[in-house]
Amino acid sequence: MAMPQTDLSLVETAGAAPQMAVRVRGVSKTYGSVEALRNLSLDFPRGQLTSLLGPSGCGKTTLLKIIAGLLEPTAGEVEVNGHPVTGPGPDRAFVFQDFALLPWATVLRNVAFGLELRGVARSEREAIAEKYIAKVGLSGFEKSYPHELSGGMRQRVGLARALAVDAEVLLMDEPFSAVDEQTRRKFQEDLLELVAQERKTFIFVTHSIEEAVYVSDQIAILLPRPSRVSEIIRPEGLRTKDVANIRRDSEYLDIVDRIWASLRSYVE
């Protein structure tokens, strides 16, 4: 716990490697006798999007919730900006798979809810919320309720809520798995734009190989029972290419194929 943090950050800022926003060190998690994660270490570079990719049951959501501070690791530790994680904190915001919107609250209140819980005054938090509602393309829906929106629009509300608290790290738990394919593609394009604009660190859990390759700066492939990182892939070449053509790019297709080759034996 009481490690000399200053030394570490000195090394990082001085070194050539990108500075790490989140570091996971030797994290294990067991539920009773079931071992979900074993001695897992992984670094998340600042300002980039890292995907956690793996078959179901590989513990990727468990890892994300440990980083969020929603679950406590059995062993090991997580650091955000050099500070150890002991619980949820204002430096991280979570986007939920099933959106986790308050069904009794309007879009405006839902987006402002994170700020409401932090005690931000009403007029101020609503002004901020309005800005992010516009940013995710939901202007005009401020007074609507979640049940009046489509699945895709609901997830935009969830995203706006996470952006509104202005956390440095955005944790996304399979955010697009509950929306239809077309909406999903639009989301992926928007996400790339968001990463470029916002200078935030994104940690993105997905089970779709294509999605991971399409949106990520770095892909961590997790293998199950117990979970460990088997490989880290950085599709760097793709990030400089035109978004419209990525899906027929030969490098994109090669990476997708390679990941499938390493995962297929784990699919029952």
Partner 1 sequence: MKIFGVRLPGMSSLILWGLLWELVGRTGFSFFLPPLSEVIATLYEIIGTAAFQKALFETAYAFLAGVFFAVVIGIPVGILMGKSRLIDELLLPWVNIFLSAPLTALVPVLMVLFGFGMKAIVITTTLFAIWIIILNARAGVQGINRSLVEMARSFGARPWDAFTKVYFWAALPEILGGVRIGVIRAVKGVIIGQLLISIVGFGALFELYSANFLMAHFWAVLIVLFALAFTLAEFLAWLERKVAYYAAAR
Q: Which residues bind partner 1 (CB under 8 A)?
A: 65, 68-70, 88-90, 92-94, 96-104, 113-114, 116-118, 145-147, 165
What is the distance between the alpha carbons of residues 252 and 59, in angstroms, rounded to a whole number?
A: 26
Q: Nearest distance from residue 153's CB to partner 1, in Å?
A: 13
CB nearer partner 1, residue 96 or residue 266? 96
Whether the CA torsion 222, 90, 123, 147 is positive or negative: it is: positive
Beta carbon of residue 47, minimum distance to partner 1 (angstroms, whole number):
22
Smaller CB separation from partner 1, 104 or 260: 104
CB of 38 to partner 1, least distance (A): 24
Of the pair 110, 188, the CB lying nearest partner 1 is at: 110
Nearest Cα to 38, choosing from 231, 228, 232?
228
- CB 152 within 8 Å of CB 187: yes
Q: Closer CB to partner 1, residue 8 or residue 71? A: 71
Query: How distant, in Å, are the alpha carbons of 8, 52, 53, 111, 181 from that of 67?
Result: 20, 12, 16, 22, 28
Cis-peptide into 103, omega within 30 deg: no
As measured in angstroms, the least distance from the Cβ of 146 to partner 1 is: 6
